């Protein structure tokens, strides 16, 4: 698809775009959602995250590489959103706020990231509110101290809760409606009894005028990292859709298939040597899309064992 057609295509409603992806063999000329891994280092050892299986080198993306990526994205109308996550705690990146500000000032439409909020102190809260960040998701999977600290090993319940409440307060004090705050709960056998108390408490603390939300998500397997779900029990599985709209750039510039591929078993290129456009339109990436479109996952075992494939129908 040429650039003009690709831009037109991006303003179509999601249902029409999906029809095009799956039934007409299409893909757009540039990804809509750019995932950039600020860092794959983390300050916690949460039970849901297969951090003990991480075998790739750890680090933080340098500002020069980040700005190169943003500079390529800015003129591309296809780009709808920037996610600053991969497999790590974003707030360990001391330049995160500077990076968000750079992306937003250059014209990126939406910037978003997920955090455990353990490092979200008052100074960072003020920096984030003033950075232009559009949305922030906070993973907090316990209501009481014991459950929280059993799930989020290495973190402190009072510190995290205090940081979240302070962020809500600071945003109000600075008379800002952004970032939108999403408080995320993940039902697990360890915390299910606390679920309602959690939902009631955080629903009473968020600010709905800022479009804040309390959300629930399902635990997933990180491909082969955990075993919450049985992916092969589903019949007629279909693509998760990610290779048609999103790209995952890791902290060192290499491109993985998606954020669930936490060890980057499938590498699609290197942003230090190639452009996003070249990688996205490469024969390698197109062959991955073909497999997804035809649901021929035996040819791509990484995806074949993933619980994010959709059920058929």
Measured distance CA(239)–CA(54) in Å, rounded: 25
Burial class from Cβ neighbours inside 10 Å (0-12, 13-18, 19+) for residue 223 reads: buried
Measured distance CA(105)–CA(86) in Å, rounded: 23
Q: What contacts 260, CB < 8 A, 6 or more positions away?
A: 220, 221, 222, 223, 306, 308
Provide, rounded to whole angstroms, the least separation between the CB of residue 266 and ligand SF4. 8
Taking the CA atoms of the chain, what radius of gyration do you get in angstroms?
A: 19
Is 242 a residue that touches ligand SF4 (CB under 6 A)? yes
H-run or E-run covering 83: strand 81-83
Is 280 a residue that touches ligand SF4 (CB under 6 A)? no
Angle at 135 between CA 169 and CA 306, to 5 degrees: 130
By CB under 6 A, which span of 75-83, 145-153, 195-203, 252-260 interacts with ligand SF4?
252-260
Q: Which is nearer to ligand SF4, 157 or 297 (CB)?
A: 297
The HSE-up count of residue 73 (CA atoms within 13 Å, CB side) is 31
Residue nearest to ligand SF4 (CB): 306
By CB under 6 A, which span of 2-10, 68-76, 125-133, 301-309 interacts with ligand SF4?
301-309
Is 27 a residue that touches ligand SF4 (CB under 6 A)? no
Q: Would you state the torsion angle of the CA atoms of residues 283, 284, 286, 288, taken in this order, to the nearest 10 degrees?
A: 160
Q: Which is nearer to ligand SF4, 92 or 295 (CB)?
A: 295
Provide, rounded to whole angstroms, the least separation between the CB of residue 87 and ligand SF4. 13
The residues facing 185 across adjacent strands are 216
Contact call for residues 104 and 132 (beta carbons, < 8 A)? yes
Q: Which is nearer to ligand SF4, 144 or 304 (CB)?
A: 304
Q: Which is nearer to ligand SF4, 11 or 233 (CB)?
A: 233
Is 93 a residue that touches ligand SF4 (CB under 6 A)? no
By CB under 6 A, which span of 56-64, 106-114, 138-146, 240-248 interacts with ligand SF4?
240-248
Binding to ligand SF4 in span 258-277, by CB under 6 A: 258, 260-261
Binding to ligand SF4 in span 188-227, by CB under 6 A: 223
Contact positions vs ligand SF4 (CB under 6 A): 223, 240, 242-243, 257-258, 260-261, 302-303, 306, 308-309
């Amino acid at each position: 698809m040429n650039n003009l057609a690709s831009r037109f295509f991006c303003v179509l409603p999601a249902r029409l775009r999906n029809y095009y992806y799956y039934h007409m063999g299409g893909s757009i000329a540039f990804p809509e959602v750019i995932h950039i891994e600020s860092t794959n280092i983390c300050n916690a050892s949460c039970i849901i995250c297969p951090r003990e299986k991480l075998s790739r080198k750890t680090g933080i993306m340098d500002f020069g590489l980040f700005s190169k990526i943003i500079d390529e994205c800015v003129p591309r109308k296809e780009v709808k959103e920037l996610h600053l996550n991969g497999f790590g705690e974003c707030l360990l990146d001391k330049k995160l706020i500077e990076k968000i500000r750079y992306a937003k000032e250059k014209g990126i439409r939406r910037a978003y990231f997920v955090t455990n909020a353990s490092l979200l102190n008052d100074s960072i809260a003020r920096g984030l509110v003033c950075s232009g960040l559009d949305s922030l998701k906070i993973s907090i999977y316990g209501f009481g101290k014991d459950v929280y600290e059993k799930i989020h090993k290495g973190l402190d319940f009072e510190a995290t809760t205090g940081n979240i409440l302070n962020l809500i307060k600071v945003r109000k004090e600075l008379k800002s409606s952004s970032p939108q705050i999403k408080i995320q709960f993940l039902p697990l056998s360890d915390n299910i009894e606390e679920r309602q108390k959690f939902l009631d408490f955080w629903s009473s603390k968020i600010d709905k005028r800022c479009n804040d939300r309390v959300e629930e998500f399902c635990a997933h397997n990180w491909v082969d990292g955990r075993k919450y779900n049985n992916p092969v029990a589903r019949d007629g599985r279909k693509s998760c859709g990610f290779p048609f709209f999103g790209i995952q750039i890791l902290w060192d510039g290499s491109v993985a298939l998606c954020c669930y591929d936490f060890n980057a078993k499938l590498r699609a290129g290197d942003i230090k040597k190639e452009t996003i456009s070249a990688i996205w339109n490469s024969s390698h990436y197109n062959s991955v899309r073909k497999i997804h479109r035809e649901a021929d996952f035996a040819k791509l075992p990484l995806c074949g064992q993933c619980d994010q494939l959709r059920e058929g129908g």
